[in-house]
């Protein structure tokens, strides 16, 4: 039996992806996961290889893995696979590097709640307040206030 590639039967991708998601979602402890409208379009626009079925399997597996880790840190995350979870690129696949998959440490750092939640709250905010206090309450000449020099050097390079 010769099965045509996904390039020749794009109408089947949605049904196949939905069935594969139902099979894979239990593995990650997810339920009722759907493919978003934009996610479906991303899959339809992708130029599939000859063995598109295994490529689709790996994309959905990796996408559900990203969604599961996102839901672990953010319980209000969506219950759908968005384009940000699906790393297939319909436009220029030759230059796309999958850093989140190739470097697991980077994925763990980026998905950590410390990167955006706590870093911004506990480190960036106090530094911002401190620098602004120096700018407003300190001397107003650059020769006497290092914060003014740093601010102007960064603002007007």
H helix or E strand, kind and range, residue 81: strand 80-81
Question: Is a pLDDT exceeding 60 seen at residue 106?
Answer: yes
pLDDT of residue 50: 63
The pTM for the full model equals: 0.58
pLDDT of residue 131: 85
pLDDT digits (tens, 9 = 90+) for 15-33: 999 999 999 989 998 989 9
Is residue 142 within 8 A of residue 152, CB to CB? The reply is yes
pLDDT of residue 18: 92
Query: Stretch 97-104: mean pLDDT, rounded?
Result: 70
pLDDT digits (tens, 9 = 90+) for 86-95: 877 655 555 4
């Amino acid at each position: 039996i010769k099965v045509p590639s996904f390039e020749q039967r794009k109408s089947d991708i949605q049904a196949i992806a939905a069935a594969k998601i139902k099979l894979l979602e239990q593995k990650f402890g997810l339920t009722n996961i759907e493919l978003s409208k934009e996610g479906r379009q991303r899959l339809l626009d992708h130029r599939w290889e000859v063995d598109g079925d295994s490529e689709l399997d790996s994309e959905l597996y990796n996408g559900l893995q990203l969604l599961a880790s996102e839901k672990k840190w953010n319980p209000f995350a969506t219950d759908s696979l968005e384009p940000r979870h699906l790393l297939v690129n319909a436009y220029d696949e030759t230059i796309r590097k999958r850093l989140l998959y190739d470097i697991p440490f980077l994925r763990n750092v980026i998905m950590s709640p410390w990167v955006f939640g706590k870093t911004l709250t506990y480190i960036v905010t106090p530094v911002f307040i401190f620098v602004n206090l120096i700018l407003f309450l300190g001397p107003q000449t650059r020769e006497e206030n290092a914060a003014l020099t740093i601010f102007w050097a960064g603002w007007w390079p």
